[in-house]
Structure 1
């Protein structure tokens, strides 16, 4: 009896040893794969933009292609129809919307110093009669500090724009983006299902169930951003842009579209857009129409937040993402600093993938004898 018990204990220890060795080998392999992938991004970040954009577009449109296939179209004609419509929409945006946004951005940059000076003057005039005597003497320092903050902010925006331009948006790169991206998107969307099946065939059979479960979680998280949050940002950008333009706000199209496009970080887009909109409204409508203009701008953003929180977010994104806003902002800064504009594009999907992998690793740790060694040892005895 003791011999049988000792044999079982030895076999159990051997299985634990093999399991730990297997985990160690897998950790080394995947850390090496991650290092190789990071090095690849670093070396080729200057030319990856069209390919990354093509992959994102194909991933975004794959559900539409699957639906058209279920309706009777072949994969080829579904791909042609979807990408044809997509290219037409992008072309119309480039012809009709982008020139207006660029013109408003240039005008806004030219008028920015005037707006800042006017806001400082309005703040000083409004507060002079309300502030105590000891604070009135500090108004000059406050204005000077505010000018410094605004100058640093404008310098940051200008530097970011120049980095984006130099890292991926020069004329030649922009031309390659417009030519190469649709071709890459076409071939990836056409072969998407075959590519997934091929990669699935490379997965070790002993771990195929776990890998598929992890990939499903990753797909849910990434799809929540690329498909769900991307659609939400686009809808909010159009809503804010149209709403602010109808109020008569200067640069309403630019401010609204910008606020919508950065809404993938919760509350950041609406708060930044509200701050810009109210600042411009104070300068533009100062006088008899002040409260009307400010009230209309507030109404646009409050209604936009209501639509986002009660209609768009539950329907388009739901609970599929599970990423903290601080983690998102860190990922954007880190990947943007390492890989430029391409890094900023892959930051959110990469953050979603890392989040899923960390949750998986944490769940395995909580079930392991490393976390609860005493219970495992008792069970083995």
Structure 2
């Protein structure tokens, strides 16, 4: 005999409360495990594809691991040092950029930037603050002993967790399936498939889109000679995960830097703007439809709200779990809406009359 609905709600509510308490109390300690699980989930289709082409799960995991190590070494040797160097240089150049902004506005709109005006003080202060605090923060984060230890722990634990979870992913899923409540197993499996489809479409799809666009922006901006092009491309690609934000922030940053670097050389400024226009056309017409799909059930506003709330409550770990939780909640909300629309509460007397008529016809 199944438990009453009230009892089920009590047990599941207690389980959810325990999960959030643990997430709040142990967020920093759980970060490597969440990252490892996210990497394993992202790479599971690759392992499945290799299995389908004759590899065992162990061999597939080994191939993926060796490839990841090679890519990581290349990034460490070729990309990351340049990225850090450009990021520090961008922070240090902030006062000069702010002065250039002030000079430009003073020439075009002299009444706005009189000596001692609020706007002029704000621009000068912003550039000085970014230079002092931003570069100091970045250098401190890269050089402090605690940060280095945390980074080393991440680089050691996350790959190990990812490899083990990738190796045992299918067995873990099968084990969880055996623990499902028998009365509700079919419904839970259906909801899990919908959640997986949403996550696969968004996380795997958008992750691939971010990687492609970030690489494209970084390479093309560096080829046209834009200073800090690698940093701008990295930021634009990373923020592409949040719909529309990556293009707006990256485009504004790149065009703003191009205006001061190439002022008067309008062809180069147009080239920078054209790079982002091509990127957006490719994202909207090719990358997102092919890799993400037309409907993944995650509205941009819902995603931004989830990232903001969970990030404020649980820090970086909260941002990691925000997307899967947002996808899960979206699936549950749609399921509850479907149940409500099929219920007598929604249909009312119309459903009773229809049922009575059907019974009479029978």
Asked if the contact 1:163/1:340 (under 8 Å) is kept, the reply is: no
Unaligned runs of 5+ in 2: 357-362
Instruction: Give the Å deviation of 1:222.
Output: 1.0
Query: 1:243 is matched with which residue?
Result: 220
Give the Cα separation in 1 of the matches to 2:208 and 2:346. 41
1:354 aligns with 2:329: yes
Q: Distance in 2 between matches of 1:231 and 1:54?
A: 17
Provide structure 1 residue ranges, at least 5 long, that are not aligned to the other structure.
Answer: 1-17
Instruction: Report the Cα distance in structure 1 between the residues aligned to 2:199 and 2:128, rounded to whole angstroms.
Output: 36
- Matched with 2:278 is 303
| Aligned partner of 2:107 among 117, 125, 135 | 125
Q: Secondary structure at the match of 1:370?
A: helix
Name the CA distance, whole Å, in 1 between partners of 2:219 and 2:47: 30
Q: Once superposed, what is the RMSD of the aligned Cα atoms?
A: 3.0
**Cα displacement (A) at 1:159:** 11
Instruction: Tell me, in whole angstroms, the C-alpha distance in 1 between the residues paired with 2:119 and 2:69.
Output: 50
Match of 1:14 in 2: none
Residues 192, 213 of structure 1: alpha-carbon distance in 2 compared, 3 angstrom cutoff: same
Q: Aligned with 1:48: secondary structure?
A: helix
**8 Å contact from structure 2 (residues 94, 131) kept in 1:** no
Query: What is the rounded CA distance, in whole Å, between the counterparts of 2:127 and 2:296 in structure 1?
Result: 34
Post-superposition Cα deviations, 1:1-48, rounded to whole Å, max 9, x if no partner, equal xxxxxxxxxxxxxxxxx99x8433332222222111111111211111
Most deviating of 153-162 and 319-328: 153-162
TM-score (norm 1): 0.84
Cα separation, partners in 2 of 1:122 and 1:66, compared to 1, 3 Å: same
1:224 alignment partner in structure 2: 201
**Greater Cα shift, 111-120 or 309-318:** 111-120
The alpha-carbon distance between structure 1 residues 158 and 340, as it changes in their structure 2 partners (threshold 3 A), is: farther
Give, in whole Å, the separation in 2 of the partners of 1:45 and 1:356. 25
1:96 aligns with 2:96: no
1:45 to 21, 27, 39: 27
Residues 58 and 185 in structure 1, CA contact (< 8 A), matched pair in contact too: yes
* Change beyond 3 A, Cα 1:148–1:22: farther
* CA–CA distance in structure 2, aligned partners of residues 254 and 310 of structure 1: 25
Larger radius of gyration: 1
Which residue does the alignment assign to 2:52? 70
CA 1:292/1:46 → structure 2, altered by over 3 Å: closer, same or farther? same
Contact 2:58 2:167 survives alignment (8 Å): yes
State how 1:49-198 maps to structure 2 within 5 Å. 49-128=31-110, 140-146=117-123, 170-198=147-175
Distance 2:88 2:117 in 1: 30
TM-score, normalisation: structure 2: 0.88
Aligned length: 354
Specify the alignment match of 2:5 in structure 1: 23
| Cα distance in 2, alignment partners of residues 230 and 78 from structure 1 | 21
Q: 1:273 aligns with which of 209, 231, 250?
A: 250
Q: Using a 3 Å threshold, how does the CA distance of structure 1 residues 148 and 354 change in structure 2: closer, same or farther?
A: farther
The whole-number CA distance in structure 1 between the counterparts of 2:326 and 2:216 is: 28
Q: 1:138 to 1:29 in 2, by over 3 A?
A: farther
CA contact (8 A) 1:119 1:279 kept: no
* Larger RCO (CA within 8 A; separation ≥ 6): 1
